Structure 1
Amino acid sequence: MIDQPPPMLPANPVAPPVPTEEERTLGMLCHLLGLLTGFIGPLILWLVKKDESAYINHHGKEALNFQLSELLYFFVLGSITFVLMFFFIGLLLLPVLFVLWVLAVVASVLGCTAANRGEWFRYPGSIRFIP
């Protein structure tokens, strides 16, 4: 009996499917709406389109989790800054709020461009409210 070689397996058997142009556009829109409307835009788009595509579901959840995390970070840091302003220490935290805002804008733009390229993007420092 001659041994047969095992069949050739694909190079990456669990590779995610390549997103369509519409999926990439809607994924990009999830991140872009986060810049313009906070968490409301990504929430609405994610709720409407999450069942149509795993790619849109992923980017919608990522954008929504990031916007909610950003809101929480700004609320906590803003509250601490407000309380410490009575002791003049809070004035030193105002630049930190500005830097946090700039980092949030940069991260949203990175997510937007990654979604447009068809990549699966995860925000650093984002709390996973929706797993």
Structure 2
Amino acid sequence: MPRAVIRSADERNSCVIKWLFLTVGVIATGLGVIGIFLPLVPTTPFLLLAAACFARSSDRFHRWLVEHAHLGPMVRGYLEGTGIPRRAKTVAIVMVWLTVPPSAFLLVPMPWVRALLLVIATGVTIYLVRLPTAPADNH
């Protein structure tokens, strides 16, 4: 009769967390790919989320994403600390301000939630502006 493998609660929790990160990473990758084709869906933030999740769950998936011919360049500069392209920064900031205020004022009835959304949009904008900008590619 096969012997059952007994795992501690910590091992089970670790396994669940790993699968959770992997699942969120796969979903974020899918949303990032959709964002390539749909202008209102942000690509780079979803790919950065996927990279962070894969870094905590699967070396294989993380390596695949970072080395991918089309998706890799969108996250590599950020991960390496060399910056993100100026165009990506500009598009991200423009999309934040094209989507958050209309959503806040047209869909959210509570004033405090509207204010919170605007504060978050401001914080994201400040964060993006302060990120290093990758040098222009002159090829």
Decide which structure has the larger Cα Rg and report it: 1
Q: Compare relative contact order (CA 8 Å, sep 6+) and give the higher one, 1 or 2.
A: 1
Q: TM-score, normalised on structure 1?
A: 0.32
Q: TM-score, normalised on structure 2?
A: 0.30
